[in-house]
Chains A and B, each alone.
Chain A
Amino acid sequence: MRMRLLQGNEVVLTRKQLYMLPNRFGLMFTALIFVLLLAAINYNNGLAFGLTFLLASIAIVSMVYTHNTLSGLHITAGPQSPVFAGQTARFALIIHNRKATSRYGLQLEYEKKVIERFDVHGNDFRLAKIPVTTHSRGWVPSPTFCLSTIYPFGILYSWSRKIKLDQRYLVYPTPASLAPDPPDATVESGDTGGNHKGQDDFYGLRSFQKGDSPRHVSWKTAARGQGMYTKEFNGANNETVWLDWQALPQLDIESRLSILCRWVLDAESQYKHYGLKLPGHTIIKPARGPEHQHVCLKVLALYPGHS
């Protein structure tokens, strides 16, 4: 029987979506009960019968506990932050316990591995993240995962059907590590000076973000073990640079996107104004800031031609 995926914006786990079987410790427990039963029969020992039946009853009662741990959980997608292809995306889930009793020993499973164990208190929620390796740019659908538990005694394993939320996340192109210099900046505000000028005036340090050019990493602080920082420069506030597809004529699509991506990041980190020109009249006017960077990268991520 192939299990049907659970899909939707919000998935609520009910009896129909949950399965339960004894795990290997459960099989050991069953064997133990049989051994105890044999001993009780052999010695005709009333209390040994009692002990045997007690353990069997405990196993049966614990089935209800195991089931209730998963039953009634609400699962929705959390806020997703985009990553660059090749990086590990962290797909965020919100697991909401709407009952007043705490649920212990929940397990998040992805690709047949337990990737996180957590408890959710009564009327509380929990943010969990699934690390997903990304390979290519564009929209990526939610990973297929499931929730499971071995609560309360580790002898019963209950798991949900595979869940795939209606939520996709964006993967930017991989920023090229070796990129040609961007096209010459046109200085719109009338300032003269090359595009390198901006790198002269050291402005300060900010913490390292993914996609920052390795050229700008403050390796000194990193070597001192103080963490990764990126140097910021403010020399070129008024420079405007057009990042143009046509500037890279002899390369294939993905490489061009990769280089454009690198240029966007560099321009942003150098506090330049930058605009994007792609074939097919896609033009993004020059601007600056995280919003603008996202718009540019998104366009690059979704550029057609990707298999």
Chain B
Amino acid sequence: MNRYPLPDKRSFNWLTIATLLASAPYAFYLPPWIFPTFLGLLGWSYLIERQGWQRPGRTLLLTLLALFLVLVLRQHQTVLGRDAGLSLLLLMFGLKFLELKTLRDHILLTLLLFLLILGNLLFSQSLGLALHLTIAVIACIATLSRMALPSGMGAITRIRLSVGIFLKAIPLMIVLYLLFPRLQGGFWMLPGSSTGTSGFSDTVRLGTISRMVKSDQIAFRVKFDGSVPPAQQLYWRGLVLNHTDGRQWQRNQQNVGVIDTFTPTGPPVRYELMLEPTWQRWVFALDLPGDAPGGVRHQPGYSLETTALIQERVSFKISSFPYYRTPALTAITRQNSLQLPRYISTRITKLVDTWRRDAQDNPQEIADSALRYFRQQKFYYTLEPPLLGGDPVDEFLFDTRRGFCEHFASAFTTLMRVAGIPARIIVGYQGGEFNEAGNYLIVRQQDAHAWSEIWLPQSGWTRIDPTSAVAPERIEYGLDAVQQFQLQGLDYSMLTPSQRNQALRPKWPIFILDNIQRYWDAGNVLWYSWVLDFTAERQRQLLDELGFLTSSVMNQLVAVAGSTLLFFALLTAVMSRNKQRVDNTQKLYLQYCKKLERVGLRRRHNEGPLNYMNRVRKSRPDLAQMAAQVADLYIELRYASSCNGQFVKRFKRMTRRFKPNPIVGA
């Protein structure tokens, strides 16, 4: 007999299923031709194993390998790197499937499956993927067990065994995860490939934001140290846009490097910001952020930027000061904040002139007049604003009067600049949805917003949100609420707060869905903080809290070794507890003997079933037939190891129904 068992057809099935589970996510991550090609190779190997097709020769395999190399090279210009490397790994894995012969081939492939599983994690570390890969890992270890032991163990028993071992491994895994020293990674950084971007770019055109808000993708999550500030303060500052040509707004590149200062006039709000990857650098902080956390730097206009592109979920601890005063403007900022497009229509200048006259050039009052104008002149807040032509601000102000936040913000800012008040546009997010399940705020793309800032001599830069003049519900309840009120034909300004809440209360199926979503998202955040954000620094914090004197690499390794030994000892103790139970068949037999004992036929201590049966037969001929049947079946079940369920059932029925009559020969 061979040292190791030989693989059979069933082991091929196990391997195939495990492979499909481990590789399925690649269908979404790799270039579209890779995964179908891989499936094709698997299909081919199925035909070889099952339909007796001929195995491809070495030449054909090498040709295919060369072909794949060339194709991958053409796609990625390299064979290294995440995408190219994993594409090749997957295809080579498929080729190896074609020459599965020995047990060694099978086990090697099963072990390589774990590399494929790890590869998935380079694309995403989401909770959903982790759950899927958990199943894949269990399938892989069950396959490994099938390869090594094609014994009489059924598939269900095997899977149960694998799940059992998996569950027992979890505690040690967690301990190792927390204790194992995290080294600073990056021996070699491989270029990934950029995926789609979401969120802002550094130019805002009319319509940019109204397109963004159609997505309910999450932009970031915020966990406040104290209570969540009121909605009126939830302005998440992104980019400061100064330069306009009348149609679009851009950042001013001139005063890069100038750090603006401000004087807080109230206590700070502290929070942790968890940004989703944007492939940009913007960090969205509440007005106005204080010290920049590590990896983030200040930009002109009190905005924050990361030093590196945000390619994966990151989080920052930020303090913001909702009450502040900013100092006098520098000449260049003043100049930038008054810049106007080359052409301003006379309708605009006339309108502004009347306000200036009425307010006697008081900037605050001019701003109020503008807001009053928005409120009184039947401006309408809508997600589907009409298209605007060559002079959008003019058309919006006097003709269409239907617009989204960026229309109001850009019109207002233009008006202020015409009036000689320094003004600029801020884009970012406003509001957010509170998740009770995880006690944090979710800010989505649909919360994208644009507002204005004007410079007033008394207070410095002051936030003015012209949208709130038109659609206060947008600020108070968010964009969904605006649509809800519009759908239900309700006029927000005519409703009492309780009526508003009534109108916004979700109907039950949606309510349940909302709750599920909320818990799933909360799970995700927890997941993030323990999986993605569990850095060397957080590990140190945790170990300090747990009371490790010094969390040096050496100490941690000792702790890892110690806890592994402890775990092993505990597990051994638990698992070798004496489980010496009497099995079911024996129990039934002993009950049967007890019944006979009651009629005076006590089984002797070391009397085998046959001897006992013979004695019963002699002294009680009336029970002879029954005794013979019981003994036969018992011997069959106990010693012939034919674990037939039917037999067990029959034996059970027989012994249960056995009621010996106490009177002999009656």
Contact between B121 and A115, CB atoms less than 8 A apart: no
Contact between A114 and B121, CB atoms less than 8 A apart: no
Task: Tell me which of B56-64, B289-297, B397-405, B574-582 binds A.
Answer: B574-582
Contact between A42 and B186, CB atoms less than 8 A apart: yes
Q: Which residues of B contact A143 (CB under 8 A)?
A: none
Contact between A117 and B575, CB atoms less than 8 A apart: no
A293 proximal to B (CB < 8 A) = no
Chain B 70-96 interface mask (CB, 8 Å, partner A; 1/0) = 000000000000000000000000000
The 4 closest A-B pairs by CB, nearest first: A154-B148, A44-B185, A57-B169, A53-B176
Complex CA distance for A35 and B4, rounded to whole angstroms: 25
Q: Besides the contacts A54-B137, A57-B169, A105-B149, what 13 more A-B pairs have beta carbons closer than 8 Å?
A: A44-B184, A46-B125, A46-B532, A55-B114, A56-B172, A56-B173, A64-B572, A99-B580, A122-B583, A151-B149, A152-B165, A153-B144, A155-B144
Q: Which residues of A contact B180 (CB under 8 A)?
A: 49, 53
Q: Which residues of A contact B531 (CB under 8 A)?
A: 46-47, 50
- Among B118, B152, B173, B567, point to the contact of A104 (Cβ < 8 A): B152
Chain A 84-120 interface mask (CB, 8 Å, partner B; 1/0) = 0000000000000011110011000000011111110
Q: Which residues of B contact A237 (CB under 8 A)?
A: none
Contact between A49 and B149, CB atoms less than 8 A apart: no
Contact between A64 and B148, CB atoms less than 8 A apart: no
Complex CA distance for A84 and B72, rounded to whole angstroms: 69
A144 proximal to B (CB < 8 A) = no
Contact between A29 and B121, CB atoms less than 8 A apart: no
Contact between A48 and B186, CB atoms less than 8 A apart: no
Number of A-B residue pairs at CB separation under 8 A:
170
Contact between B125 and A25, CB atoms less than 8 A apart: no
Q: Which residues of B contact A104 (CB under 8 A)?
A: 149, 151-153
In chain B, positions 513-543 with a C-beta closer than 8 Å to chain A are: 530-535
In chain B, positions 575-600 with a C-beta closer than 8 Å to chain A are: 575-576, 579-583, 586
Chain A 217-259 interface mask (CB, 8 Å, partner B; 1/0) = 0000000000000000000000000000000000000000000
Q: Which residues of B contact A98 (CB under 8 A)?
A: 580
With A43-B185, A98-B580, A152-B161 as contacts: A60 and B567 at CB distance below 8 Å:
yes
Contact between A42 and B188, CB atoms less than 8 A apart: yes
Contact between A58 and B3, CB atoms less than 8 A apart: no
Q: Which residues of B contact A38 (CB under 8 A)?
A: 187
Contact between A105 and B185, CB atoms less than 8 A apart: no
A295 proximal to B (CB < 8 A) = no
With A63-B568, A64-B571 as contacts: A154 and B125 at CB distance below 8 Å:
no
Q: Which residues of A contact B114 (CB under 8 A)?
A: 32, 36, 51, 55
Shortest distance in angstroms between A124's beta carbon and chain B's nearest beta carbon? 5
**Identity of the chain B residue whose Cβ is nearest the Cβ of A46 in the assembled complex:** B531
A199 proximal to B (CB < 8 A) = no
Chain A 60-83 interface mask (CB, 8 Å, partner B; 1/0) = 111111011001000000000000
Q: Which residues of A contact B148 (CB under 8 A)?
A: 25, 105, 150-155
Q: Which residues of B contact A101 (CB under 8 A)?
A: 579
In chain B, positions 1-36 with a C-beta closer than 8 Å to chain A are: 1-5
A45 proximal to B (CB < 8 A) = yes
Shortest distance in angstroms between B515's beta carbon and chain A's nearest beta carbon? 27
Complex CA distance for A99 and B564, rounded to whole angstroms: 27
Complex CA distance for A29 and B184, rounded to whole angstroms: 25
B644 proximal to A (CB < 8 A) = no
Contact between B145 and A152, CB atoms less than 8 A apart: yes
Contact between A64 and B118, CB atoms less than 8 A apart: no
**Identity of the chain B residue whose Cβ is nearest the Cβ of A32 in the assembled complex:** B111
With A104-B153, A152-B145 as contacts: A60 and B564 at CB distance below 8 Å:
yes
In chain B, positions 135-168 with a C-beta closer than 8 Å to chain A are: 137, 141, 144-145, 147-149, 151-153, 161, 165-166, 168
**Identity of the chain A residue whose Cβ is nearest the Cβ of B144 in the assembled complex:** A153
Contact between A28 and B185, CB atoms less than 8 A apart: no
Complex CA distance for A57 and B430, rounded to whole angstroms: 46
Chain B 177-208 interface mask (CB, 8 Å, partner A; 1/0) = 10010111111100000000000000000000
Complex CA distance for A153 and B143, rounded to whole angstroms: 9
A121 proximal to B (CB < 8 A) = yes
Contact between A54 and B568, CB atoms less than 8 A apart: no
- Tell me the dominant secondary structure on chain B's binding face: helix
B231 proximal to A (CB < 8 A) = no
Q: Which residues of B contact A48 (CB under 8 A)?
A: 118, 121-122
Contact between B151 and A121, CB atoms less than 8 A apart: no
A41 proximal to B (CB < 8 A) = yes
Complex CA distance for A64 and B1, rounded to whole angstroms: 26
Contact between B571 and A57, CB atoms less than 8 A apart: no
Contact between A28 and B108, CB atoms less than 8 A apart: yes
Complex CA distance for A267 and B121, rounded to whole angstroms: 80
- For this complex, 25 residue pairs linking A to B, each with C-beta atoms less than 8 Å apart, are A28-B111, A32-B114, A36-B114, A41-B185, A42-B186, A43-B122, A44-B186, A50-B130, A50-B173, A51-B137, A54-B137, A54-B166, A54-B173, A57-B176, A61-B168, A67-B572, A68-B575, A100-B580, A104-B152, A104-B153, A114-B1, A122-B583, A125-B639, A150-B4, A153-B144
**Identity of the chain B residue whose Cβ is nearest the Cβ of A156 in the assembled complex:** B148
Q: Which residues of A contact B582 (CB under 8 A)?
A: 123
**Identity of the chain B residue whose Cβ is nearest the Cβ of A29 in the assembled complex:** B111
Contact between A60 and B186, CB atoms less than 8 A apart: no
Complex CA distance for A38 and B186, rounded to whole angstroms: 10
Contact between B568 and A154, CB atoms less than 8 A apart: no
Complex CA distance for A91 and B183, rounded to whole angstroms: 58
- Among A53, A62, A119, A154, point to the contact of B107 (Cβ < 8 A): A154
A179 proximal to B (CB < 8 A) = no
Chain B 368-384 interface mask (CB, 8 Å, partner A; 1/0) = 00000000000000000
Contact between B117 and A51, CB atoms less than 8 A apart: yes
With A60-B564, A123-B583, A150-B149 as contacts: A42 and B185 at CB distance below 8 Å:
yes
- Among B108, B170, B172, B643, point to the contact of A121 (Cβ < 8 A): B643
**Identity of the chain A residue whose Cβ is nearest the Cβ of B535 in the assembled complex:** A44
A196 proximal to B (CB < 8 A) = no
Contact between B152 and A119, CB atoms less than 8 A apart: yes
B309 proximal to A (CB < 8 A) = no
Interface centre among A43, A115, A151 (most CB of B within 10 A): A43
Q: Which residues of A contact B47 (CB under 8 A)?
A: none
Contact between A65 and B144, CB atoms less than 8 A apart: no
Contact between A65 and B169, CB atoms less than 8 A apart: no
Shortest distance in angstroms between A158's beta carbon and chain B's nearest beta carbon? 13
